[in-house]
Amino acid sequence: MKGKWRIAPAVLAAALILGARWWRHAHEDGAAVERGPVAVQVAPDALRLGTLTFKACQLAQKHSGATTAAYCASYEVPENRDAPQGRRIALKLALVKSDAAAADSDLVVFLAGGPGQSAIESWPAVADALASLRKHRHLLLIDQRGTGGSNALSCKPARADDQDEEPRIDLERIRAETRECLAEVAKKADPRHYTTTDAVQDLEAVRQALGAPRFDLVGVSYGTRVAQQYLMRHPDGVRSVVLDSVVPNELALGEDFAQNLEAALKAQFAACTATPACRQRFGDPYATLYKLRDALRAQPQTVSYRDPVSYRPQSRTLGEFALASLVRMFAYAPETSALLPLTLDQAAQGHYGPLMGQVRLLRGDLAETMTGGMQLSVICAEDVDLLRDRPQDQDTLLGDLIVPAFKAECDVWPRGARPADFHAPLRSDKPVLLLEGELDPVTPPRYGEQVLRGLPNGRLLLAKGQGHNVIGRGCMPRLVGEFVDKLDAKALDASCLDALAPLPAFTDFNGAAP
């Protein structure tokens, strides 16, 4: 799904080897030792936990020869639980071993973002951030139904990747491309049954098959929605929760995207204008961005450049939509947001090659990491009916077309069921640690503050100068590890986070000014 509107909704809308015995150490301030499920070595390359047998495997890393040693298994569930004799889905599972000779009985479960990302394919990107959790516990990765190795709802590209960008949004084309995708997906799946609610039921079924260990849930972005829904419906299965870049239950995905990006860009560019060298070099990058947007809206540019992957000469049309997509994704992390003033300045001077090369990389990366059909199953069932047109976003970088685009897709895509309390605020006395990036363009800190109100044993940690997905920033991995060990978020000494700050903007391609 690499075509313009197979990608744009994702951009605009839009990541384990057992010892011979399992038990929990008395981390919980004097709690009695509790026996957990026992992992049995049934062969040199196989382990059994509960009713599941895991076999030795290697988790691949895309575009790399590096792999991670793990144990893999599959677990079948009904696609439609109201018709258990019908089609079944094989969920792909992976276990990554703890560093401990005798690991605690609870399992850390990583819940990937998107919606549409595979937890197993995302593992290389989060492995270092979750390393502290492996000191005492094994990690469980489950490809959510509709992603990765769990009957992925993927479609062939709706448009060739080398086609030029369209000058305007065509809602009828969006509907036609969605029909093509649906016709392909319908050969192997009923998209109505690939929602967050279905995934939560899968997660509980897997837990029971494993012998009913308690879970330490770690959700990132959309994964925080899955974590909250699981906690609401299966609290006895939860020991602790970490929510990184929080999506409140009350939120309809898409409603705040344009305004959240504007706020983040203003703050990020303000850091440049507050720095003499950056201000002297670039003036006002926010104003430059909009001048460039207006120029590309009036006259898209034909750009000749070297493809950053193949290095072959290319000639493509660059328009305002590609610019908006790139800027939004670059705003996610300080390493890329630091490049924005320079990249925009180059483009404003007519040097579009660096910008176009980054657009090409972005499109390829998104096509590889997002499963568009599963994303539509989630949004169409859970959010689209709550979205209202937003004329107030018309002049923003993302504009007011996100809602019409989603609605056009969901006019075609079958909609699954949503529980009546799906969007109810989370209320729980479980230990919960919330993480937010100060400059997050997608899930700003106010989202975490909103969810925290219902969590008497929760705490929010703010990563200064950071963007989306902050669990790997600075000392955050150590703090998360301490929280999961001791289950006391409020006792954490988070002063080490004071060392975090935004990266200075690049003033040339050699880096920031000294």
* pLDDT given at position 365: 57
pLDDT average per 10 residues of sequence, the chain (514 residues)? 36 30 31 53 82 93 80 97 96 93 91 94 93 94 97 74 62 94 96 98 98 97 98 98 98 95 96 94 96 94 82 86 91 93 93 82 59 92 96 94 95 97 98 98 98 98 97 97 98 98 90 75
* Cβ contacts of 509 within 8 Å, gap of 6 or more: 342
Q: Among candidates 228, 79, 121, 182, which has minimal Cα distance to 410? A: 182
Query: Residue 59 CB: number of other CB atoms within 10 A?
Result: 19
CATH number at 16-253+421-499? 3.40.50.1820
**In the structure encoding, which two tokens stand for residue 130, read together?**
């979750």
Confirm if 300 and 165 have CB atoms less than 8 A apart. yes
pLDDT at position 239, please? 98
DSSP 242: E
* Pick from 330, 388, 392: nearest CA to 357: 330
E runs forming strands in 135-247: 139-142, 215-220, 238-244
Closest CA to 414 of 153, 221, 171, 222: 153
- What's residue 1's pLDDT? 34
- Whether the CB-CB separation of 190 and 87 falls below 8 Å is answered with yes
Per-residue confidence (pLDDT) for residue 509, from 0 to 100: 79
- Domain range annotation of the chain: 16-253+421-499, 257-369
Query: Does this model's pTM top 0.75?
Result: yes
Instruction: Give me the DSSP letters along 295-362.
Output: HHHHS-EEEEEE-TTT--EEEEEE-HHHHHHHHHHHTTSHHHHTTHHHHHHHHHTT--HHHHHHHHHH
